[in-house]
Amino acid sequence: MKPSYLILLTLSVLFSACNPTLAPEPFGAIPSKRQLEWHELEFYAFVHFNMNTFTNMEWGMGSEKPEWFNPTELDTRQWAKVFKEAGMKGVILTAKHHDGFCLWPSNYTEHSVKNSPWRDGKGDLVRELADACKEYGLKFGVYLSPWDRNHAEYGRPEYITYYRNQLRELLTNYGDIFEVWFDGANGGTGWYGGANEERRINRETYYDWENTFKIVRELQPSAVIFSDAGPDIRWVGNEQGWARPTNWSLLKREDFLPGVVEDIEHLRSGQEDGTHWLPAEVDVSIRPGWYYHPSEDHQVKTLPELLDIFYNSVGRNASLLLNFPIDKRGLVHEKEVEQVMKLANTLKKDFGEDLAAKKPIIASNVRGNSKKFMAKNAIDENPETYWATNDDVIQCSLTIDLGQPTKFNRFLAQEYIRLGQRVKKFRVEAMVSNQWQTVAEETTIGYKRILRLPTVTATQVRFTVEDAKACPIISNIQIFNAPKVLEPPIISRNQDNIIKIKSFDNNLDIYYTTDNSQPSTSSEKYEKDFVLNRKAVVKAFVMNPVTGDKSTVTTQIFDVPKTNWKLFGEIGKHPQASAIFDGNLNTSLIFSTTVPAEIKIDLGEIVQLSGFSYMPNQGRGNKGTIVEYEFYVSVNGKTWSGPVAGGEFSNIKNNPVLQTVTFSSIPARYLKFKALSTVNDQQYIGIAELDVITT
């Protein structure tokens, strides 16, 4: 080659490298095709339904009988219809949970629907749901628990072969699978083919995940693989329904392992310097438990709770996997249908009218002044186009002219993630009465960020990127004015039997009943606290007296008064002793002790006892949360009967909700609650509330 050609070639390479009208280069890890498709789903359903539904458990032991699985009205088309109408894009089914019972007639075990009375043993629930999904245009995914408390070989290499055979069945026989969910809960006590023992596995090596994942890639190349550590989708580090506001879709994947959760904070927020694209999925149940328990019928999450979950997941660069505990009939329970439809309808209103669409917009910088990267691309509702700046311009802004004073309270932004997640810090300002006012200062954006803001009336909105890893690339900006949703009140009763009904807004009226009837505006109006010293069901709602808008109804069940309850012995003198009877979930008795440990309570009178409930400490870090327990009763405080109940509070570490235990009715004045073990073997006991259930 002649030297002059060489110079020309070098010049042209140099020119194209700094030619700003070329699209920006990707920065850092970027999503794969299957991850990109998954991002767009945003909201999809989880279904927990199998043996536990019929045994009223969260984690079965594995010794259950297939005959017990017998839904009377099972209708997967009803599920699919509800999910579709609620705006969800797919559903993931617990084909096998920790108890090992299979919802499909697996060739590798007898512990399945084929030995149940349901459809005379000819049923295949995985098939029925896969078909319903096809009919309703939903994607279909499977959960296959790695932990199997039924299988005799669990803990040995033979079980891995069994597990992989089952995975092959699920990934071969039921059409396209969009996500395979590998649960982290693992190893412990179980039935294990009758051995009834504790089996600990080596979490790092036992499952040989690399080769298990290869099966998914081979049979369902488009499916994303979920686990605590991906490889495609990561767990968000809690089961309460939130990601951190700062949420990177990046993680140092090699530092994480499925089933080994050591760095929970980074599961919640991702890592700015993560080496792999590994976005978070928020999994949460619409009730306290993952499985159906009739006692939780009044605890289906309310509209404000579901909205919080939506905005704290989809609004924080994560997807939302909302669980439905299918009931014993085999249907999505009416209360859940009602609540999820309220959510769907409210979201429709929240995002009803994009106030930024087609408005005049200007950018402080446009990449190469090219039309291809102009500001307008951020409000054209086309996810393929974007606004970008020159490579050296990190700080930049977009200003939208709303034309006239316009009320708004939602701000939505999306990065063009095909080229990486870049924004580290941004600000939203509103022009109110001719002055710029900051309405939000935030950090990451990612696939989608939605901010809930106090309502402001503005003529212009300015979005400023203050820091980014590389030039920002914004594919979408939207502004909305969402209607206000009223929070239902909180009802509590303290040890002096005083009922308090608390509203989040003092300007609202509260109406209530104490006889289990549905309250209305002709019910009692709550003006001040009152005494209620008997068993009762209290129901209340708030109403805006100006608009007539009402909240949903809160239901609170109170058993016998705790007026004369006392803790026995030294612990009774603990400064926080009364916290466990004060009706306040935010206060706890936490004391250091060697475990096993017990507390004894004198109820002050003999009652006919048929159960108890334990609310673990709701603070951070599961401090003193009891896992295995025994419960004894006595009429004289000297001779004890029992244990009248005992076992484990399954899944309490990840889901520390109210634990309710029932047993055959027995007279009792004294209770002994014995903790046999605690989360992470802490030498602490932590109790937020203890309650009894009387007959």
Q: Which residues bind ligand FUL (CB under 6 A)?
A: 58-59, 183-185, 283, 290, 651, 654
| Dihedral (CA of 444, 449, 453, 458) sign | positive
Q: Are 462 and 399 in contact (CB under 8 A)?
A: yes
Nearer to ligand FUL, 236 or 361 (CB): 236
**In whole angstroms, how close is the CB of 437 to ligand FUL at the nearest point?**
42
Strand, helix or coil at 457? strand
DSSP letter (8 states) at residue 273: T
**In whole angstroms, how close is the CB of 337 to ligand FUL at the nearest point?**
21
**In whole angstroms, how close is the CB of 652 to ligand FUL at the nearest point?**
10
Strand, helix or coil at 191? coil
Checking phi first, is residue 408 left (phi over 0); if not, alpha (psi -120 to 50) or beta? beta
| Dihedral (CA of 320, 326, 332, 335) sign | negative
**In whole angstroms, how close is the CB of 292 to ligand FUL at the nearest point?**
13
Helix %, strand %, coil % for the chain, to 5?
A: 25, 35, 45
Nearer to ligand FUL, 406 or 650 (CB): 650
What distance in Å separates the CA atoms of residue 567 and residue 583, rounded to the nearest whole number? 16
Strand, helix or coil at 141? strand
**In whole angstroms, how close is the CB of 216 to ligand FUL at the nearest point?**
18
**In whole angstroms, how close is the CB of 238 to ligand FUL at the nearest point?**
11
Question: In this structure, what token pair is assigned to residue 458?
Answer: 């503005």
Nearer to ligand FUL, 552 or 650 (CB): 650
**In whole angstroms, how close is the CB of 290 to ligand FUL at the nearest point?**
4
Task: Using CB positions, name the residue nearest to ligand FUL.
Answer: 185
Q: Are 542 and 517 in contact (CB under 8 A)?
A: no
**In whole angstroms, how close is the CB of 90 to ligand FUL at the nearest point?**
16
Nearer to ligand FUL, 386 or 649 (CB): 649
Nearer to ligand FUL, 305 or 691 (CB): 305
CB atoms within 10 A of CB 335: 17
What distance in Å separates the CA atoms of residue 208 and residue 203, rounded to the nearest whole number? 9
Nearer to ligand FUL, 187 or 624 (CB): 187
Q: In degrees rounded to 5, what are phi and psi of residue 13?
A: -65, -45
Q: In 3D, which of 347, 273, 320 has the Cα closest to residue 86?
A: 347
**In whole angstroms, how close is the CB of 289 to ligand FUL at the nearest point?**
9
Question: Residue type for 167, please?
Answer: L
Nearer to ligand FUL, 58 or 442 (CB): 58
Q: Are 397 and 364 in contact (CB under 8 A)?
A: yes
What distance in Å separates the CA atoms of residue 199 and residue 562, rounded to the nearest whole number? 41
Nearer to ligand FUL, 69 or 181 (CB): 181
Nearer to ligand FUL, 58 or 232 (CB): 58
Q: Are 411 and 355 in contact (CB under 8 A)?
A: no
Nearer to ligand FUL, 365 or 650 (CB): 650
Q: In 3D, which of 283, 226, 285, 282 has the Cα closest to residue 256?
A: 226
Q: In degrees rounded to 5, what are phi and psi of residue 325?
A: -80, 95
Nearer to ligand FUL, 92 or 580 (CB): 92
What distance in Å separates the CA atoms of residue 56 and residue 189, rounded to the nearest whole number? 19
Nearer to ligand FUL, 365 or 654 (CB): 654
Rg (CA), the chain: 28
**In whole angstroms, how close is the CB of 108 to ligand FUL at the nearest point?**
21
Q: Between helices 334-350 and 76-85, what is the axis angle to 10°?
A: 20
**In whole angstroms, how close is the CB of 656 to ligand FUL at the nearest point?**
13
> 367 to each of 20, 64, 119, 396, 422, how far by Cα in Å?
6, 64, 63, 11, 16
**In whole angstroms, how close is the CB of 170 to ligand FUL at the nearest point?**
16
- CA 538 to chain CA mean position, Å: 28
Q: In degrees rounded to 5, what are phi and psi of residue 43?
A: -140, 120
How many alpha carbons lie under 13 Å from residue 45 in its C-beta half-sphere?
A: 31
**In whole angstroms, how close is the CB of 246 to ligand FUL at the nearest point?**
24
Nearer to ligand FUL, 181 or 373 (CB): 181
Nearer to ligand FUL, 327 or 429 (CB): 327
**In whole angstroms, how close is the CB of 185 to ligand FUL at the nearest point?**
3
DSSP letter (8 states) at residue 294: G
> 629 to each of 189, 596, 626, 636, how far by Cα in Å?
14, 9, 7, 22
> 139 to each of 10, 94, 164, 177, how far by Cα in Å?
50, 15, 23, 7
